Amino acid sequence: MDFRSGNKIKIEGGMSSMTDLVFLLLIFFIVISTMITAGINIDVPKNGGKSSNKKILSININDKNEYFINKKKTAITSEDIEAVILKNIGNDSIISLYGSEESSWEATVYVIDIAKQNNFKISLNGNRK
């Protein structure tokens, strides 16, 4: 008596799904590596920070992309912010930039560009209420 059936199940893995996965991972790493190399250089402290006696100019950006300097209540437009920064900052000062989650990234990058053009140090911070 032969109880074996004629239908045998072949257990093999499909290679097409594996090649798709490898291809997607390759694309992911290529995109990430180009994004990393195209970024802005940021100086981070190596062994913790030291306290500084430098003057800190704080700039807040609200949801309407208006700028506020040193917790003042008067809003400053993007056209006037560079002149106000240059007026209020000293030679040995640091810009501390606070942004809202709803503010546009262009408003933040604009202040970073002003700091970079004038060789000011800048500190990026979260939202301050």
CATH of the domain at 105: 3.30.420.270
Residue 27 included in any domain: no
- Name the amino acid, one letter, at 54: K
Q: State the residue range of the domain holding 105.
A: 55-125
**92 and 54 in contact (C-beta within 8 Å)?**
yes
Q: What's the whole-number mean pLDDT along residues 40-66?
A: 75
Output the six-digit token pair for 122: 């800048």
pLDDT at 16 over 80: no
Taking CB atoms within 8 Å and a gap of at least 24, the contacts of 42-51 are none
Burial class of residue 93 in the structure, from the number of CB atoms within 10 Å of its CB (0-12 exposed, 13-18 middle, 19+ buried): middle
Question: CA 25 from chain center: how many Å?
Answer: 23
- For position 116, what pLDDT does the model report? 87
- Name the amino acid, one letter, at 78: S
Query: Which band of pLDDT confidence, cut at 50, 70 and 90, is reported for residue 26?
Result: very high
- For position 94, what pLDDT does the model report? 85
Question: Domain count of the chain?
Answer: 1
